[in-house]
Structure 1
Amino acid sequence: MALRITLAGSTGWVGKALVAAIAASDDLELAGAISRSAAGQDAGEAAGLSRLGVPISASLEEALKAPSDVVIDYTKPGAVKAHALTALAQGRHVVVGTSGLSAEDYADIDAQAQQVGRGVLAAGNFSITATLLRRFALEAARYVPDVEVIDYASAKKPDTPSGTARELAELLSEARQPATSKPVAELAGVRETRGGALGAKEPVQVHSLRMPSFVLSCEAVFGADNECLVIRHDAGSSAAPYVAGTLLAARRVGSFTGLRRGLDTIMD
């Protein structure tokens, strides 16, 4: 039996690519689609494909009237937490591709997932190379305590930092040793130029740039005595790198209970 997918954000950049990939898959079925701007249209036609016979709903609640197994969310930061909690309450597993959630948001989602016995897989970036950036940076943090993150995105990206940078900084905070740089609270001048601190254990400074010509790039910059290391990921203009990782997450999210963050938690 095919795995039934409800896709929130079906007419977005990644959403359209996911509609095409699900339609072409032998083991996946598009059971529902959500897009307020395209409500009532056929999900296939709205994605530039032939008709799929799946009408686009204006809300997740409406789409969940059709039976499904997994909800994939590629919407907006202000909506994704409520979507995840609603989907879990309706007995679905959840894959979160939308960025902008805080650690507290994820804690609430995890608690709900544990309570209802469902799985949630959330990632700031579902591409394989972005996942490798995270893995290599965490390895480097074992040996080099000083690390900061630089986050690049388009001028119109609504959240800061990106999900990729936020997730990386929070994980580095848990893995790194105390920094040798002077604490921000002890600096003179304009302290905001040192960026924002993320992470509960050993906070990591994150600097976000928002300007034209960037899609999404993220750097982990490590500094040691007389040497430095920069690990960087650059995204291209196509949504294709995110599709395979998202669908891998959809296929595996039912194999565990609670929240997991990062594609690498299911890759091995």
Structure 2
Amino acid sequence: MDRKIRVVVIGASGRMGREVVKTVLTESDMELVAGISRTSGPIDLGKMVGFEECGVKMSNDVEQALTETRPDVIVDFTGPQTAVSHTNLAIRLGIRPVMGTTGFTPQAIAELDKLCQEAGIGGLIAPNFSIGAILMMKFAAQASKYFPNLEIIEYHGDQKLDAPSGTAVKTAELISEVREERRQGNPNEEETIEGSRGGYYNGFRIHSVRLPGIFAQQEVIMAEPGQALKIRHDSYDRAAYMPGVAIAIRKVMTYSGMIYGFEHFID
């Protein structure tokens, strides 16, 4: 592009939103044109994240801010309760949505893809923007061709609302694309405590750990007679997601349709 990509951050006062604001303010090919938070006053966004004042004030009205600033892209890390409505609004206004929220059903994604195609714009729904996490998913899917007996364990803080995580679900989906369904374990096994074997997905199990002080980790454990393979990724800070967010903002400008999964943006 000959001009900077105009970006609005929805949920800008949140922990992820603040990191996105920092990223957009420091990328030379991007321009922050608005930040939106329903709970914050009209603070300067640069000052909010510890930078010099940038001249962009926080707004609390999504539709008004998008209509007035006409951005190219929105980045939204708010939550599943608002994700679909924000995505629909952005598409209706011809704005490319980059959604870091979970909770989209396959039917909703298909409908949003249709709307994006009709509008001639791209969009992205990504359970995880960490490049390391995406590589973990890709490696796990590749390895599952040779190690089909596996389980997924994901770890998050105790305030996370959904279980399993969107990353775990996406990992399971990628594995299931190349691994035929096969039920693991003893066919006569019995849970003496309900749920102790974890959630069932396409023949294997997903386990969710929720404890205070944990940020985001996931491992895929694979085993065959006489050997085991563990593929693990650990995130320690929200800054880990920001290189991926910057890539997404740029690449969504070149796509048409709604893309599900950041792995499609990694060559």
d(CA) in 2 for partners of 1:112 and 1:219?
Answer: 35
1:74 alignment partner in structure 2: 77
d(CA) in 1 for partners of 2:105 and 2:187?
Answer: 22
d(CA) in 2 for partners of 1:221 and 1:112?
Answer: 39
Query: Secondary structure at 1:33's aligned position in 2?
Result: strand
Query: Secondary structure at 1:222's aligned position in 2?
Result: strand
d(CA) in 2 for partners of 1:148 and 1:55?
Answer: 46
Greater Cα shift, 26-35 or 172-181:
172-181
RMSD of equivalent CA atoms: 2.1
Report matched runs for 1:1-268 at 5 Å: 1-65=3-67, 66-182=69-185, 187=190, 189-198=192-201, 202=202, 204-236=204-236, 238-268=237-267
Query: Secondary structure at 1:150's aligned position in 2?
Result: strand
Greater Cα shift, 13-22 or 149-158:
13-22
Query: Secondary structure at 2:196's aligned position in 1?
Result: helix
Q: CA 1:178 to 1:138, structure 2 compared with 1: closer, same or farther past 3 Å? A: same
Greater Cα shift, 95-104 or 119-128:
95-104
Q: Residues 124 and 164 of structure 1 are in contact (CA less than 8 Å); yes or no, is this contact kept in structure 2?
A: yes
d(CA) in 2 for partners of 1:56 and 1:184?
Answer: 57
Shift of 1:122: 2.1
* 1:143 alignment partner AA: Y
Query: Secondary structure at 1:18's aligned position in 2?
Result: helix
Q: CA 1:256 to 1:48, structure 2 compared with 1: closer, same or farther past 3 Å? A: same
Query: Secondary structure at 1:142's aligned position in 2?
Result: coil
Q: CA 1:188 to 1:217, structure 2 compared with 1: closer, same or farther past 3 Å? A: closer
Q: Residues 182 and 203 of structure 2 are in contact (CA less than 8 Å); yes or no, is this contact kept in structure 1?
A: no
Shift of 1:183: 8.3
d(CA) in 1 for partners of 2:160 and 2:227?
Answer: 33
Q: Residues 10 and 16 of structure 1 are in contact (CA less than 8 Å); yes or no, is this contact kept in structure 2?
A: yes
Question: Normalization by structure 2: what TM-score?
Answer: 0.91
Shift of 1:15: 1.5
Q: Residues 158 and 212 of structure 2 are in contact (CA less than 8 Å); yes or no, is this contact kept in structure 1?
A: yes
d(CA) in 2 for partners of 1:118 and 1:249?
Answer: 14
d(CA) in 1 for partners of 2:122 and 2:204?
Answer: 29
Structure 1: gaps spanning 5 or more residues: none
Q: Residues 100 and 162 of structure 1 are in contact (CA less than 8 Å); yes or no, is this contact kept in structure 2?
A: no
Shift of 1:9: 1.5
Greater Cα shift, 3-12 or 164-173:
164-173
Q: Residues 170 and 204 of structure 1 are in contact (CA less than 8 Å); yes or no, is this contact kept in structure 2?
A: no
Q: CA 1:188 to 1:248, structure 2 compared with 1: closer, same or farther past 3 Å? A: closer
Deviations 1:1-28 (A, max 9, x none): 1000011111222221221221122210
Deviations 1:81-139 (A, max 9, x none): 22111111110111111234333332332232223222112222111111110110011
d(CA) in 1 for partners of 2:184 and 2:49?
Answer: 49
Q: Residues 148 and 221 of structure 1 are in contact (CA less than 8 Å); yes or no, is this contact kept in structure 2?
A: yes
Greater Cα shift, 21-30 or 103-112:
103-112
Q: Residues 38 and 46 of structure 1 are in contact (CA less than 8 Å); yes or no, is this contact kept in structure 2?
A: no
